[in-house]
Amino acid sequence: MARDDRPWGGDDPPGVVYFYAPGRAGENAETFLTGFDGILQIDGYTGYNRLTKPTRKGGAPIGVAHCWAHARRKLKEVFDRDGSEIAAEGLRRIAEFHAVEADIRGVSPGQRLSSRQARTAPLVAAFGDWLQAQRRKISSKSRLGEKLTVARQPICPGATTTLAGLEADGVGVV
């Protein structure tokens, strides 16, 4: 886990915590995050799903902010291999989220939140509609279909996409 609020004007010092567990089982994350209540930016690993449930042990359900870089990487794999126009369009749409982030980097958390709600949220909604339309046309078992499923994770119900303190791709904490 890492935290670094300096790029956003935060006063808290950066920090990194490494937690070792013999495997990626979801209960390891649940144990480590006992007592944590808040929003966690994660990749698409399904082991974290248990953290979002009302039955979560050790705290209230955690809000999830999926990482757009993870979704982008999956589409880029397909584009690089197959030259897929659908993957190219998905990459273009995700680039629009990153353009907003570039514009708002360094402004106050309240300004970032307001900008994300006004500018990014409609882009994410349009991306979700577009993605759903593509998924209806393509077999979920195809390479592209599998990658489109991963790309959907940041916009699944319960995912938080317009947060004041988290960039779209988590680059600020990597």
pLDDT tens sequence across 87-108: 999 999 999 988 998 898 888 8
pTM greater than the 0.85 cutoff: no
Rounded-to-integer distance, Cα 115 and Cα 111, Å: 6
Residues 48 and 121 in one domain: no
Buried b (16+ CB within 10 A) or exposed e, 46-61: eebebbbeeebeeeee
Q: Is residue 171 part of a domain?
A: no
pLDDT value, residue 168: 52
- For residue 159, give the 3-state DSSP assignment: strand
Q: What integer pLDDT is reported at residue 158 of this predicted model? A: 40
Q: Are residues 58 and 103 in the same domain?
A: no
pLDDT string in tens for the chain (174-residue length): 777 777 666 778 888 888 788 887 888 888 888 888 888 777 667 788 888 889 988 888 888 776 778 788 888 998 999 999 999 999 999 999 889 988 988 888 888 889 988 998 899 889 888 888 988 888 778 877 777 776 665 554 444 444 444 555 444 433
Task: Give yes or no: residues 37 and 80 share one domain.
Answer: no
- The helix/strand/coil state of 65 is strand
Domain residues for the domain of 143 are 67-157
15 & 48 share domain: yes
What does residue 125 show for φ and ψ, rounded to 5 degrees?
A: -60, -45
User: Within this chain, do residues 53 and 76 fall inside the same structural domain, yes or no?
Assistant: no
Q: What's the domain count of the chain?
A: 2
Co-location of 118 and 143 in the same domain: yes
Residues 44, 96 within the same domain: no
Residue 101's pLDDT is: 86
Residues 11 and 74 in one domain: no
pLDDT in tens, 11-36: 788 888 887 888 878 888 888 888 88
* Final residue of a structural domain among 39, 65, 91: 65
Same domain, 134 and 97: yes
Total Cβ atoms within 10 A of residue 67 = 22
| 109 plus 27 within the same structural domain | no
pLDDT at 30: 86
Distance (Å, whole) CA 136 – CA 51: 29
Domain stop point among 47, 65, 83:
65
79 in the same domain as 153? yes
Is 113 within a domain? yes
Q: What is the pLDDT at residue 153? A: 59
